[in-house]
Structure 1
Amino acid sequence: MALLVAAAVAIAVAVVAVSSWLLTRSQLQNELDNSLRNSTAPSSQIASALQTCEDGAGSTSSNKAAPDASEQAFAYFQVVDANGSRCVALGSQPVKVEQQDVAVARGEEEESPVHTSTTDGGQEVQVHTRLQTIRIGPPGGSSPQPVAVTISRPVDEIQTSLNRLALLLAVVAGVGVLGAGAAGLWIARTGLRPVDGLTRAVEHVARTEDLSVRIPVDGEDEIARLSRSFNSMTAALASSRDRQSQLIADAGHELRTPLTSLRTNIELLARSEETGRAIPPDDRRELMASVKAQMTELAALIGDLQELSRPDALTPGTVQVVALHEVVEHALRRARLRGPGLAIDATTATWYVRAEPATLERAVVNVLDNAVKFSPPGGVVEVRLDAHGELTVRDHGPGIPAEDLPHVFERFWRSPSARSLPGSGLGLAIVARTLQQAGGEITLSPADGGGTVARISLPGAPTPPPDLPPDA
């Protein structure tokens, strides 16, 4: 980032510096050219140039003494004839005569455009000049013909200023680039410091699997949002891992009891076969019934664990319109088989919901199983599905103590009075999750006169939507 900032500033400064230098050079050259166009050759300089030719001083000599320094005006003067010969005024430098200067001397042009040339008077270093040749009348009427006079000014007078400006711009540009690079480096390090912290935190988590790491958050910028997202992610992962560990621990605890009992019973049966000492028929039948019950309990527990291990969100393909009253009827038939000595009083109204059929039926069956399990022999289980879609299941059992109600939907939780009864403690947890996924809820409360009332509410309608046939 610092290199990018420095490069961007360097390019910008270079463009500005070069543009400024070129603009200044153009402006100074224009001013020099304008001064040439507005200049007139003093008659004394013309006469001096003509006199040098008449005296035989030569057309290429460099004269050091000027008759009138105030009239010289920092310019060189020379007279050019039609043959291309020149006569240089005193104190001026001879300038190369070009074809366009000769054309003016011959009368073909009134004046030549301002152009660049060099001195050629034999000096060691040639001087670049800007010059213009113009036709003027003869001085003092000494010649009946006009003459061509070349007025030139050395470019050095603006080149020195341009060189100083170039040096100044180079220094300023260098300082600007170095300052921009340093500022960019400081800004980059300051701005990316939270990213460095986030990187170290991610590397720490990857190396140690420690999900308790949190990044300090300061501000509301993108880095702060990223830090908050990382903290939320690690908190969610830590919570998920804790729930997974707790589920494994609880499952191991719940599986240990039936497995131990099952192993003990099987070892008794195996020892009887090995030793040849037969177990009394009644005891053998009791052992076999116990083994069968424990196998059934293990199968139910494994099924509950599989249900809980599914993702919390239902896949879109499994959700469909379900006739809740039909689901209740199917669950009632299973409940009557499990509680043959109980009376089930059921009334159902038509109600359609959107849910996963298999899990919804399992949830209703679990609620009815609890009612059957806790009902006294010969008791009554009352089931009502009203016209507003609320399903109530009431038993006349011992009820749930008020201090246990907050825990009934926790995984593997069982009240002290229910630990002697079959079950895994996962049924109501599965019911709560299933109904939550379908947009509904379940509540348990003490019933008037004893027992417990379970209330299930699911959003729906008394008539089937268009995607469900009436006879479905």
Structure 2
Amino acid sequence: MTGLQRRFRALPLRSRLALLVATAVAMAVAAVAVACWFVTKAQLDEQLDSSLRDVTADTRYVQEQLRNCGGTDNSPVPPPQGSYVVQIIDASGTVCAAPNSSPIPVTQEDIEVAARSRGDALHSAKNAAGKEMRVHTYPYPSGDPQSNSRLAVSIARPLSEIDQPLSTLAWVLLLTSGIGVLGAGAAGLWVARTGLRPVDELTGAVEHVARTEDLTVRIPVEGEDEIARLSRSFNSMTASLASSRDRQAQLIADAGHELRTPLTSLRTNVELLARSDETGRAIPPDDRKALMTSVKAQMTELASLIGDLQELARPDATHPGPLQVVALHDIVDAALRRARLRGPELTIEADLSPWYVRAEPADLERAIVNILDNAVKFSPSGGTIEVTLRSGALTVRDHGPGIPAEDLPHVFERFWRSPSARQLPGSGLGLSIVARTVQQSGGEIALRPAGGGGTEATIRLPGAPQPPPTTMP
């Protein structure tokens, strides 16, 4: 990158835009001015040549000039009207010019015209005084092409007749172009300032957010152009960041609440055990057994909560292990065994058909266990849970209180818990883990109220009733 390029990039954006506009206009104006000058010059040259062709010297004037060249002292007849210069040329190249006039050099073309080997000649030349002339040479006498006379007449006009207007035109074009370029630069600067005003507002908003971390800032959006799209994108970004920050705050609050309960209970139980050892007062065996069972339950709940948090901390785009073909019915059967241990008072009815899917076995089993845990948690004592697997659709139906209609859109959101479920065990993270695992396996999940009360959860995974002959890649 050259120094000029570095200096150009160092300029503010509006200055660069104004400079680019002025440069573009200057190039366009220069091209138009040059084209106009050349077109005008061509037209003036053509007019001058036409005027020379249309004029012939008076025969009496030519004869008088020939006598003067021969030494006869007679008063000449006036030359053609206008600023014409007339001279006579013979076939040998001898020039007979009017008195007090500057002869024009004879060219080979002029001699050929005098010798009748050429019809006429049109060329430019400088006279003896150094003045540029446009010359038209024709045979003399012009009215008798068969004449044996070896003379030609050259009529010339100074090129200054068109040089002066062209010079004036050049100055006018230069002045006009300069004014146009300056006007274009001013207009470009105004357009840049006006067009970049939304960018200035966006820059100010970004700097305000960086300085204050205030994510409630929104930029007014006007129109449908690129700046409006950028403003909408910024507003959407800040809204997403604000939502993410709110969810993080909610996560901390929920995690703190969930951790506080088992930790408090665990601390109380441990203090009872420690006080029993310190005082020497033994705890009755039944009470000690219940106390140890409570400690184990609280440890299990803490481990489950930490596991949920670790699961959600992994990036959505990655998998903990390679996908492989697994028997979904076997995974559901293993999850049912765990669910029956957690709800021994419940009746779990299962009807499973073979179905093979491509998934990560541990994650898929964890997702199904979470669905069954929810059914166990919300089922009334002695209730029934129906589990069916048909053509890749796994349905879990409980007979609990069900999910309110206004809560259904939020059940798969991270860290969200229904107000009615906040007093129950759990972190509110299970269903979001289930949704992510199912989506990674190419499936879908839905929750809806079941007829007659309760909730029905359906997981659909692509697959086949028979395993493939070889392991899928």
Measured against the shorter chain, the TM-score band is 0.7 to 0.9
- How many residue pairs match? The answer is 447
Query: Are the aligned partners of 2:323 and 2:360 in contact in 1 as well (CA < 8 Å)?
Result: yes
> For residues 67-216 of structure 1, what are the structure 2 equivalents within 5 Å?
67-68=77-78, 71-81=80-90, 85-89=94-98, 93-100=101-108, 103-104=111-112, 107=115, 109-110=117-118, 113-120=121-128, 126-137=130-141, 146-216=150-220
The AA in structure 1 aligned to 2:87 is Q
CA distance in 1, matches of 2:113, 2:336: 127
Corresponding residue for residue 446 of structure 2: 441
Q: Does 1:53 align with 2:69?
A: yes
SS of the residue aligned with 1:293?
helix
CA distance in 1, matches of 2:435, 2:151: 116
Corresponding residue for residue 297 of structure 2: 293
SS of the residue aligned with 1:298?
helix
Corresponding residue for residue 364 of structure 1: 368
CA drift of 1:76 comes to 0.7
Query: Are the aligned partners of 1:321 and 1:468 in contact in 2 as well (CA < 8 Å)?
Result: no
* Change beyond 3 A, Cα 1:333–1:66: farther
Query: Are the aligned partners of 2:438 and 2:444 in contact in 1 as well (CA < 8 Å)?
Result: yes
Corresponding residue for residue 335 of structure 2: 331
Corresponding residue for residue 283 of structure 2: 280
Q: Deviations over 1:114-142 (max 9, x none)?
A: 22222325xxxx43211133442499xxx
CA drift of 1:350 comes to 3.7
Corresponding residue for residue 384 of structure 2: 381
Query: Are the aligned partners of 2:92 and 2:111 in contact in 1 as well (CA < 8 Å)?
Result: no
Larger radius of gyration: 1
Corresponding residue for residue 42 of structure 1: 58
Corresponding residue for residue 247 of structure 2: 243
> For residues 287-436 of structure 1, what are the structure 2 equivalents within 5 Å?
287-311=291-315, 323-340=327-344, 342-351=346-355, 356-373=360-377, 379=382, 381-385=384-388, 387=390, 389-394=393-398, 399=401, 411=415, 413=417, 419=423, 422-428=425-431, 430-431=433-434, 434=437
The AA in structure 1 aligned to 2:62 is I
CA distance in 2, matches of 1:323, 1:239: 39
CA drift of 1:295 comes to 1.3
SS of the residue aligned with 1:114?
strand
CA drift of 1:13 comes to 1.8
Q: Does 1:10 align with 2:47?
A: no
Identity over aligned residues, as a percent?
Answer: 53
The AA in structure 2 aligned to 1:383 is E
* Change beyond 3 A, Cα 1:152–1:111: farther
CA distance in 1, matches of 2:405, 2:432: 18
CA drift of 1:328 comes to 2.2
Q: Deviations over 1:224-266 (max 9, x none)?
A: 2222222222212221221122112210121122223323433
CA distance in 1, matches of 2:416, 2:141: 123
CA distance in 2, matches of 1:347, 1:225: 53
Corresponding residue for residue 29 of structure 1: 45
Q: Deviations over 1:415-452 (max 9, x none)?
A: 66883x6544444554455556631212355856xxx4
Q: Deviations over 1:148-198 (max 9, x none)?
A: 332211112222222222223223322332232233222232223222322
* Change beyond 3 A, Cα 1:309–1:347: same
SS of the residue aligned with 2:125?
strand
CA drift of 1:327 comes to 2.5
After superposing the two structures, state which structure 1 stretch, 108-117 or 359-368, moved more: 108-117
Corresponding residue for residue 270 of structure 2: 266
After superposing the two structures, state which structure 1 stretch, 461-470 or 168-177, moved more: 461-470
Q: Deviations over 1:32-52 (max 9, x none)?
A: 223323432212322332343
Equivalent position to 1:225, from 229, 233, 237: 229
> For residues 454-469 of structure 1, what are the structure 2 equivalents within 5 Å?
454-458=456-460, 460=462, 463-464=465-466, 466=468
Structure 1 stretches lacking a partner, 5+ long: 58-62
